Amino acid sequence: MVEPQLHRVTLPNGLRVVLAPNAPGGPPVVGLSVHYDVGFRSEPEGRTGFAHLFEHLMFQGSESLEKLAHFRHVQGSGGIFNGSTHQDYTDYFQVLPSNALERGLFLEADRMRAPKLTEENLRNQVDVVKEEIRLNVLNRPYGGFPWILLPPVLYSTFANAHNGYGDFTDLERATVDDCAAFFDTFYAPGNAVLTLTGDFDVDQATELVHKHFGDVPGRSVTERPSFGEPFPAQQLHDHHPDPHAPLPAVALGYRLPDPVHELDGYLANVVLASVLSDGDSSRLQQRMVHRDSLVVDIQAGCGLMGAPLDARDPDTFTVTAIHTPEAGSERVIGAVDEELDRLASEGPDADELARVTARWSAGLHREHDRLVSRTLDLGSAELIHGRAELISELPGRVDGITTQDVAAAAKALRPDARAVLELEPASETNTAGGTA
């Protein structure tokens, strides 16, 4: 495969721009995204969930665009859009027919320059976000497991431990002035990366970027604080009652090497996670699902938001399992520990490594075949690692991970420096099927 060539521009106001055009002949579609260097780890105490709430507000109108106009202009041009809030960044994207590129840039620039932050829209979006939280957390089994439930066990600082979706009381307390302060602090062009992919001409697109973003006033960018904290000095433990869950579950959380400064060490953990739980031939699936029938489902992975390399340090290695009450969490955890010990002393064999590498490369090809994913991955790699090209180098780097690297990664996942969260069905009135 020919890797699309990357081009870079930085505007005088500090906006970093990554352009990744397709080879000619591809579908007439463009992707564009803006990543702001602020996520829920940066939100102030007493304002849990604010970064995500603010993301909603950014869709609610700007100087040239009434409420609803953003959605209508994107979709009425044949495009799709969304935004999402992560630990360390917030992204906004559009995928459009390529004839709507300039319109898409205009829409992103207008809200970077002058969003309309009003009381009415804030109250409306607090209601919407509360419905989102009911949908994804409060009204379903295993809601927030483990991304909301595990961090307060593993981490001790507010930034790393708190619930990024937010408490209802905090959300209700948010004011328009909070929004103004948040915008001025974190949404400066110098704190953002604009990414363009797909069917466009680089010179033309660069000109359009200057035209629309050039006069967004630059503002000073406060240096991002480190969210680093020491590794736990003992095993940390907690329980969570879940009124909707029919079966118990357990989550283990371990600290990972710094994703930016110890990338290869981090990638060894990515490989380790695949060796542990990716496919029927993986170690935990073979043993815990099929041989010992301890768990209904088990997954190991890097990152709390469902994908590796999505955050800066500190980041989390997780193992999650839904198990029967008969199996018990002790046996489940014991089996994981034994498999980690085995990998720590012997490492995976060469075939296992080759399989992981092949699946990893194929998975990346597949992900980057979708314009949305390619755009967002380029943008977040540029923001977090300063190198959008990392996304095409990853298969090569993963290929370089050795048996010893994986063994070392397994050895570093120590029981005496991890968090254990047990989710327990709170089932005194648990009639999961309703009156059915």
Partner 1 sequence: MTRATHRSAEEIGRTEFGPRPLPPLDTPRSGQSPETVDTVLANGLRVVAARHGAVPMVEMRLRIPFAGQDTLHPAKAEVLAETLLTGTESRDRVRVDTDLAAVGGELHAVVDPERLSISGESLASGTDTLLDVLADALTGAVYRDDEVAGERDRLVERIAVARSQPRTIAREELQRHRYGDHPFVREVPEAADVARVTAEDVRELHRRSVLPRGATLVLVGDIDPERAVADVARALSGWYSDESARELPELPAVRGGDLRLVHREGAVQSQLRLSSQGLPRTDSRYPALQIANLAFGGYFSSRLVENIREDKGYTYGAHSTFEFTSSGGTIMVDADTASEVTAAALLETRYELGKLVAVPPTDSEVESARQYAIGSLLTSVSSQSGLASMLSALAALGLGQEWLSAHPDRLRAVTREEVVEATRYYAPTAFTGVIVGDADKIGEPLRSLGGVALP
ω into 146 cis (within 30 of 0) = yes
Phi–psi pair at 43, nearest 5 degrees: -75, 145
What's the min distance (Å) between Cβ of 376 and partner 1? 14
What's the half-sphere exposure (Cβ side, CA atoms, 13 Å) at 42?
Answer: 25
Give, in degrees to the nearest 5, the angle at Cα 154 between 150 and 156: 120
Q: Which residue bears the tokens 């990554």?
A: 18
Give the DSSP H/E element, type plus range, for residue 35.
strand 29-36
Query: Helix 328-346 and helix 403-412: axis angle, to 10°?
Result: 140
CB closer to partner 1, 60 vs 269: 60
Q: How far is CA 326 from CA 58, 329, 420, 427, in A?
A: 48, 9, 19, 16
Task: For 316, list phi and psi in degrees, rounded to 5.
Answer: -125, 135
For 387, list phi and psi in degrees, rounded to 5. Answer: -145, 95
Least separation in angstroms between residue 392's CB and partner 1 is 11
Instruction: Return the bridge partners of 94, or none.
Output: 32, 81
Residues with Cβ within 8 Å of residue 351, at least 6 apart in sequence: none
Are 23 and 197 spatial neighbours (Cβ–Cβ below 8 Å)? no
- Closest CB 236 distance from partner 1, rounded Å: 26
CB 272 within 8 A of CB 356: no
Instruction: Give min distance, CB of 390 to partner 1, in A.
Output: 18
**C-beta of 420: minimal distance to partner 1 in Å?**
21
Q: How far is the CB of 250 from partner 1 (least distance, A)?
A: 15
Judged by beta carbon, residue 234 or residue 429, the one nearer partner 1 is: 429
- C-alpha closest to that of 274 among 356, 358, 395: 356
Q: Which two tokens stand for residue 380?
A: 């977040």
Considering the complex, state which of residue 368 and residue 418 has its C-beta at the smaller distance from partner 1: 368
Please check whether residue 412 is in contact with residue 258, taking contact to mean a CB–CB distance below 8 angstroms. Answer: no
State which residue, 245 or 401, has the beta carbon closest to partner 1. Answer: 245
Beta carbon nearer to partner 1, 10 or 181? 181
Minimum gap (Å) between residue 152 Cβ and partner 1: 19
Q: How far is residue 311's CA from residue 108's CA, in Å, rounded to a whole number?
A: 23
Task: Give 243 or 396: the residue with its C-beta nearer to partner 1.
Answer: 243
**Toward partner 1, which CB reaches closer, 96 or 319?**
96
Closest distance between partner 1 and the C-beta of residue 337, in Å? 23
Looking at the Cβ atoms of 63 and 338, the one nearer to partner 1 is: 63
Contact call for residues 273 and 300 (beta carbons, < 8 A): yes
In the complex with partner 1, the residue whose CB is nearer, 181 or 261, is 181
Contact between 422 and 330 under an 8 Å Cβ cutoff? The reply is no
Please state the closest distance from residue 254 (CB atom) to partner 1, in A. Answer: 25
